[in-house]
Structure 1
């Protein structure tokens, strides 16, 4: 029905606005009203469709289905309108209350904004606000005109234009940190007019604010002190950073003398991990006596500056220590002057060495300074002029020295002495060296060189050329004598220059090579001589001669050789490179020498064959002798056992003599066989581990009976010997047996023989000492020769093979034998073996 649905109208009044300001719940309620009516209408239609006529019990009045529908719609619409009216009234009341509250809040905010603007626009502060979205900053307020701050916004934000550089840089960094990280700050900035401003920076949720405010007199004084403190703190930090970066140890101490700060160089010098670690451990760079000396010096003077030595990294170093003591502590640093001290000592040593060198020269040297006073002279100078040492040590002037030499008639008289002296002394004003020749009255000729020094002064060099001139004349005479000598030599000599042309030759050269006389003149090229001489020699060495004379070999190696001429003459030639680039060739007729050499070679070959025949004979005879000797010894032992029958006293004595002589003969044969094997180069050593103590005792047992026979004591010294070494045990035992037998032969009755073994470097040595008469030098020179037996002082004369075998076997092991002997001090034979022989030879050379 028209006019019954207020929701269908466009209501723009307060209630509509209230409905718009209402929540989503209210909007959902408003939209649900038409939905209920539609549902009710649909239900009614369904009922009408089911029953077209509804009889109402109102006086028998019949109402049709369409009327029922209209009544239902009317009732629903009226109910909805009533509910909407009630809701709208309540909403309007609530909105009116809210509007009243909002008006009150707006009024309060306007008053607060006015107060804030009044505060911001004061004449003693200015505020810069940066929005959080990165927009341009806004500036509010003003600063006093005498502060020097500009009023324009763009100029004010350029802090470097009106603030001091230090303050501007600090403010820029603080503002950047405030905007990026939100870190607040409090600074004191100084304008270019000298006015101090308090600057505070804070960060809110959406803005970054920086406030500049002027200060009162007290605040200004406090700010100036604060600014001075900041500058001092910055300077202190910079100084500490600079000192920490220095490559010299620096330190600060408190009133008690304890370290309170050190730099990194100090920590490195005391080998600490860091400066804090050095402080924590109290590491001291200087030793206690040095620190005590510094403390005692501070009692008299606040500044200590002397060189001190200390140990740094295990090396003694010299430091130039400067330490200042104040009322609240001390500070110091140490400059490493080790290299400077070393250079100073080296310079002083160089000067002394230079002076000592000049003093040893035969050339007279005198050095005058810029004031023309004598500062140095050598002995040659004093001897040249024969002047008093006291006069020279007084440092006379150069002019005075010349006057004295003239007065003592040691200089030649000059027609104009003053002009001559002034010309001579002009060397002090010259740049280039000057040279003079003085002919002294005593006949000497002196070459004088005046060498100006860069810093003033002149070094005078007096070279006595009298002997040189004399030698030059003698040299010319010697050249003439040499020429005559060369001409009369039987050896051919030819000298070629670097261009390959003949410089000089003697007649022997022309005669040996049968060269025409016209070709041996000076200037003849070597190629012309080659064309004449090459056909005379087979093979010809003239290609080598030409290469040596005309080649460009940097090494210039000398060479020699032989060539045989067609006539049968054999020439020995030598190519000798001379220092001046020339080449000398010498030729000697060695025909006779070659013939003799050939004869000697043939004789040597015959001797080698004879020696081989001897070795073969010795080996064969030695083996042939060993077998019957073994049989004789065996049968003698059987006879001694009396198994074949008893022996009388004389027979037993004969049997003993036969056995001892056979054993001695077998020993000689074995020695000869061993030496023959060594000489033949076929002896092989069976290298193995040799126990020293058992081996020595075994060798001692072999000679025990012989020692008891002569009441000789054998002492063994094995305490310093190693347990074992590598060698041929049988040969070592044989060596020791021969040494002990030799000692027993020469040791006096009731004496003592000492056999010692000890470690020696990387080997072992055996020493056998006896108290015999010793060996004279002539015997010692032939002691190792075979079949050289000296009966001097010995009980029996042997074959002379014992020490020869010892030397051969020791050298086969790579060792050496040494004998210490002398008249009245006995004989000591020392055999040295390596612990592990390497490259053992099969036989001795």
Structure 2
């Protein structure tokens, strides 16, 4: 060693020693630095450990705990957090934090938390939410953000959970209170705004501060702000006092002030009730209620009461009204007359006891042994639960019905009806009923009265005896079905019972009068008649017409014989007419041959005889033709042609054909009319024959120098031919003319009626006659 050291010393010398010393010093310094650094590192580690322990302790005591959620769903956190979630131990994944019952967090909240975590991992967006662990009553405020890569290199979300149970409860309570207050305030404001009556609020100085929409509409303002800014008052001054002064008076007194007055609302004067209410030191509230309808109802009530009392004065029944204090407040005129009350008694509040005293002094109360006790009994009228009905018999024989009706306000309405006349009428009615029964029993017809319900009400003895019905059966008032069943065995045909039922039904239900006949089993014939009565009942009458029916049958047989004889007569006349015409035609033919000189020249006398023969045969032929037409018309066998006939030319021709007869009779005939009379459809020959017969009759009966006027007119219902003449012809020739014309009038009537027309003769006071022929 020594040699080596020496050798080195010798070899390297002093610089090497210096360098070696420096190296040793460096080594020493490095060792010292290393030792010092070790000591400092040890101190730092101890301080870090203490800091970690302190931080861990602080984290355990802190109200906020971290939760690291990795991308795969695994979680890292303190075991203390498991207690916050109501779990025994912290699970490995976030989805296992969900639980049921009193453990874990609701599944929906964990799913939402996990969705927030995934969104933060993808977008680095922070989030906030609240978790509500089950069964613990906790509220955990959650704040999450992306974790630092030094915390988790694979990507994770750091979630801080703060126990906000107390704060949440307080916040929820405050939030609920605030929401309720806000809702109440909004409801109150909405209620005031929606109120249909004007409402307002005044400041302490009396100026308007708030008004609702009804106020704005009432004063016709643009808006509530405009009304408040302009201080537009709803109520004008009343008796020199403004609405502001009344409001200040209410604030000063601390009492609400109400008053009724008139105000202009939406341009219309109406009665309102205005109220001003002081609201502490804040100001005065007010509102106005429209009482126009109430005022109108009050006026109507007063008018109704006056009208009612006026109406009660017009009734025949007496009416007295008592108030709750049992004092008379109204009495009508019939009441005063019935009980002879003084006119002034209804104008003052008179106790009911005094009213009864006045009635007793007038002799208008029943005779009672103890009047004070009787009067006290009437006090029970006021407390009765229903109306009291009594009958009073007065000393003069009057019968009064008293109805005491308690009123809802504690008063009493006393109604009096004088039944004296009614009882007298009832007695008279009973007498009339007995008279009616005796009269019905004396009738020849059987009478039964049936009510609308079908039951027998009244009957007479004739009805019971004719139908052999017992009084016991009829006294039971049987129904119509039972009555018909009892009548059926007594009828020749039991089915006739149904016919009787139809007669009764028509009288009672259909209110129609019907009749009929039925034959009884003993051969009698009954005529039935159903008559509806005014009281709604029906009356059935039955009359034995056996004898009259026999006489009717004999008359029918005789009438039939007369009809057959008339037919034989008609046939005889028709045959005779034809038989007459054959020789008459021969006579006329031979006479015409003689007149024409076939048998040689006739002398003057022979010519006159032949002319007379021809005139007679012509008149006889006309009469035979008239008889033939008349018999055919009566038998309905008269043939008529249907042609259009102009009346004016027809009448002109008829008058011209009779010009010679008119001139021979010494009379004047005037025909007035024109072609406006129109036309008719008919047989020209027979219509001319009918009208000609009437004209011939007028010529025959009109005296010399007489006048016949024929007017032809057109009416809405058809043409009219009016022939006016006066009878006055005398002498044998006039009588013969009347006889000859007499057959023509019946024929004229038949022919005109065959044309659907009519003929009427009107006799005048001056022996004038007007024959009017109406044609369709």
**Bin of the TM-score, shorter chain as denominator length:** 0.3 to 0.5
Length-normalised TM-score, structure 1: 0.42
Rg comparison, structure with higher value: 2
Length-normalised TM-score, structure 2: 0.45
